[in-house]
Structures are given as C-alpha cells and as structure tokens.
Structure 1
Amino acid sequence: MITVEGNAKINLTLDILGKRPDGFHEVAMVMQSVSLHDTLTFAKIPEGIELTLDVPGLEADEKNLAWRAAALLLREKNVRGGVRIDLTKRIPIAAGLAGGSADAAAALRGVNALYDLGLTLSELCVYGAKLGSDIPFCLMGGTMLATGRGEILKELPAVPSFWVVLIKPKISVSTAWAYQNYDAHGAEKHPENAAVCEKIAAQDRKGIASLLCNVLESVTIKKYPVIAQYKDWLLKKGAMASMMSGSGPTVFGLFADKTAAEEAAAALRGQTDADIFVCQTAGKNKDQN
C-alpha cells in the first residue's frame, strides 16, 4: 500500500494575458503550495479502478480527476493490474485551491510508486498536463512561476515561511465561468510578476505581501461581494496581506507567525459560517524513485 498527500495551492499572483488559439487563456502567475492536503492511499487490485471517498455527492468514477489520472497512467504504461484508491478530502471543492488537481497529481505519483514505473516528477507532468493545467504544478509543488495555460513551470526559491488562514465561503465558483467572464479592462491592476520573483529571491516577506495581485478578483468579487469583506476582515485581524486564490471564492491571509494566524482564525469563526483553515506555505515535492 502507498500513501500520498495532495497539497492545496494558493496564487500569490494571477494575470491573464489573452485568449489562445486553443481556447485556453494565456496566464502568468506565481503559485504556492500550502500544507492543507488531501490524503490518498493506493493498493493493487487485479484490474480496473476502485475509488472510495468521504465526501457525499463527489463523483467516484471517471468524472473524478484522481480516477482519470490513475486510468491514464495505467493505460499509457500498459500496466497489468488495477488500483484501489481511498481518498480523504480536506481541501474544499470548487474553492480556487486546486483540490481536484492535487488529487490527480497524487494519483499519478501513487500509481507510479505502486507499480514501480520509475517516472520522474517531470515525466509525470507530461501526463498531468493532458488532464488539467494546474496538475503539473501540484506534482512539483513549492513556489513556481507558471505560464502558458499554467503548465509551463519555472522553479523559484522557496518563499520565506508564512502562516496562512484560508476562508472558504459556502459558495462554489466555476473556474471556467470566471475566465469566461474576465474582462481585461475590468481589472484595476495587473501583477508585477518580475518584482514578485525578485522579492522571493531576496526573501523579502513584506515585499512579497505588498505585491499580491489577482485579476480574477474583478470578476468573482463583483458577483460575491462577501469575498471583499473577508479580505478586509483578515487585514483587520493582522494579516500582512489578503487576496482571493485562483478563481475563488477562497480568500487567504498571510501571517508572520502561527499565534497570529490561529488567533485571527478563532476570531473569524465566530463571525461566519465559512470554512476556515490554518496552514503553512509548503516546499516542493520530491521524486519518490
């Protein structure tokens, strides 16, 4: 049996550069792993895929990205045998935290290890990119500049450690909807990705926090103004910076220490029915071979 953790991600920046001929959007974003994670265990079975999970209503068949990732690798590598996957969800669904992509990345790593396929993380990224733009990042983890449709990765130095408070309201946002409704003229400002990369290299915590920027806030906050309220709450509770992650609706706040993050989370739990998590920035994954 093999156990793999799939980490959530937040966006320190997210910029949309235009529409591509293939229908996807050209993006440039700094992505960061956090310690909030799903846990997947893998065991060999004679054939096929069996997926069990602990979230009512979430598909446990070929509609599930983890199922599809496992099926892709078994098929492409002509594996004789199947896999049973037990998935424990902690990352909220449709939250802008790449929960589905994290599970797919974990499935690729798990099947690779279970059947001793010997593929590196970089090689697994080729398979992951066939299923979703965020999966290569979730395979690599850490701190990355992502371009193209999100699958072209440049490794950055690890950010100085932050504690992170995540607030996920009781709403779901479709990534496709957010991108389809994005209007470049509606974004008040665009990220300074080069400057962010410089601040990360310099381990400048305050500098990084000062440059957070996500153009999709202009879309999602318009429909769900509570997101702006959560950002304001986090800042008032001592966050160095606060922003929406991905297409939303999750909002995160960056904190310098654990105590400040936990105190903010405790105070906010009394004011909202949103799901609130406290976690840390996380480093890159390591090849399992």
Structure 2
Amino acid sequence: MKAVILAAGYGTRLQRDIEKDQSGHFGHLRGVAKPLLPVGDCPLVSHWLRALTRSACVDQVLVVTNALYHEAFQLWAQEFSSVQVLNDGTRSNEERLGAVACLHLALNHFAEPDDVIVIGGDTLFREDFSLRRITEHFTEVQRKSEDSNLVLSYQCKDEETSKYGILELDSDCRVQRMKEKPLPSETHSRSACPCFYLFSRTTLPLLDIFLKEKETRPLEERDAPGNFLSWLISRRPVYVHEISGRFDVGNLVSYQECDRYFREELRNPEVYSI
C-alpha cells in the first residue's frame, strides 16, 4: 500500500489570522505551510510520518506540495527515508491545481498500481484513531469486493453539518450518498467525512474519468477530494470507519486547539495513530 499526503494548499485563512493577531505569539508562523506548523513536539505532518513508519502499513509515502513551499518540504523530508516530495508547479492560491489533480499527479509517480491511503496534510485525529485498525477494516471490506473503498467518519454537532460533507449510510455502513454542507434539516445524518481515504487500486483509474468530465467546470467542482468521493459513491462501494473526532487546521483558533491537544492531552505520543 502507498500513502499520498495532500499538502499543496496555501493556508490563506490561517495566514490572514496570523497577520491580524495582536498578541505577538504567532509571528514565527508567517509563511509556514500548514502541514509544517509545529504541533506538540514536531511539525503536523511528522505525526503522520511517524505513524506510517512505525505501523509499517505502507512502503512509500508521497507528499504533494507547491513551488512556494517545495524547498521547505524537501528540508523537512530529510528526516524520513521513505518520503518523496512532489512539486505541483504552482506559486499562488489562484494557480492551485486542486487536491484531486494533485492526487492524480502523485499516482503517476508510483511504479505500479496499488491501494492508496490519501491524507489531508492539515488534518490530525484524536488518540482513538489507529492506522492498523483502519487497514484491517479495509481488508475486511475488500473481501466483499476488490473495488471497495473505506473513508473515515465522526459525529458532528447539528450546527456543524453546514460546514462539512455529510455521509448518509445504510445498515451495513456503506455510504449511499454524500451531501455537501447541508442544513441540519436537509439530512438525518451527522456523519462528517474528513480527508482520509483508502482507495482500492481498481478505483483509482476513475480519477482520469472524473477529471476529464470536470475539466471545463469551475475549479470548485474538482478541487476538494470530497468532490471525487461524492462522484465515486454511485460507481464503487464506499464504506465507513468511525472515529471520535478530528483536528482540521484551517485558521488560528483551530491551530491553537490542535497544538494544545498534542502538548497537553495526548497520553501516549509514542504510539499515536499506530
């Protein structure tokens, strides 16, 4: 199995918050890519590399970033022998390719088709998350069909449905549909879906079809990986693995919450996410 970490975003909301902050505590974060932000005792993305390495669930990790942050990621990657850093060639948020196109770019650098873990580079999970448990679950759903895929889900609050992609499931925890940022009254589900997916090797060729269908559409329709997931649900089996919650570093407040958890509440950092 391979892993792709999507890290080509520009963190515009977070950088705006840092510029506006009057405390003087966050000036050192100016111009730092979100996956490289210090969280606890290391950069955010290093938590993923530690867990992927220690769990031995993948044999290759590819990080996709942009030209603006490429050098910083190359310096960071010197600590990890299994990592390759890819440059998507863009230098601003306006030029961005979108996460799905970045995933497609990464897949073209693998020597042969394989199942792939896709990880949002600005996302971490609470301590109940386990790579070993989710890869075991992936093996189980693949016994039903080699086309099966697995995504994460956690229960959000009623007022949060309009912030996230919400999954509607059947009794077998198979996803029936995904609603993008619905009002609470528009769905009975509260199953929010973070950017962490296990795609089967037989599913990944559909990326070509998706991008071809969307090539003349606005970037927003093919940017977030959730757009591909929503499109995929009617074409391939997608199942859910439940977790308790996530940290999505989008602004300064969410960054502070994430950093505080990893500095003060993480009980077993040596086995985190393994």
Which has a greater percent of strand?
1
TM-score > 0.5 by shorter chain: no
Using structure 1 for the length normalisation, give the TM-score.
0.29
